Amino acid sequence: MDDVKIGEILLPGDEETQAKREQKVRARFWPTLKKAVRHVPFSRDVVAAYYCALDPRTPKRARGLLLAALAYFVMPFDVVPDVFAFVGFTDDIAVLAAALRIIQGHITDQHYDAADKALADHPDVAAEPRPQ
């Protein structure tokens, strides 16, 4: 997956686009993560990004970028179909990693605390050890 394609996917979009993406992400995030958790080496960061994207205090551009990446992650059809196990999630991982790198300063300790709590409450999606 090349940088141009990732750049196109990560366009923040206008408020209407962001609202549509947020609705999709809210509806599909946890089931998708449950399927992908063994293939996403940074699931805690992805869950923290989810909470950052839903946080109204997150700047609009960072929120839009995260919603774009998370919407791509939860969509059943993408560049490499997710039914191909690990290979199917490589494009999702690349998009998520790029988004996380771009907005890393916007994910706060509160987002990570929410991620840790959510992963503790959903042990079926916890793939990596969480700090105690």
| Exposure of 16 in the CB half-sphere (CA atoms within 13 A) | 0
Question: What is the residue range of 31's domain?
Answer: 3-125
Identify the CA nearest to 106 among candidates 51, 26, 41: 51
pLDDT of residue 41: 83
User: Structural domain tally of the chain?
Assistant: 1
| Exposure of 97 in the CB half-sphere (CA atoms within 13 A) | 11
> What is the phi/psi pair of residue 52, to 5°?
-65, -40
Domain annotation covers residue 130: no
CA atoms of 125 and 107, how far apart (whole Å): 20
Residue 9 tokens read as 């996917």
pLDDT of residue 123: 74
Domain annotation covers residue 93: yes
pLDDT of residue 129: 44
pLDDT of residue 3: 47
Domain annotation covers residue 23: yes
Domain annotation covers residue 11: yes
CA atoms of 43 and 52, how far apart (whole Å): 14
Domain annotation covers residue 132: no
Domain annotation covers residue 131: no
pLDDT of residue 125: 72
Domain annotation covers residue 13: yes
Domain annotation covers residue 45: yes
pTM confidence score: 0.82
Residue linked to tokens 């141009």: 4
- Using 50 as the pLDDT threshold, list the residues of the chain that sit under it: 1-4, 78-86, 128-132
CA atoms of 56 and 52, how far apart (whole Å): 8
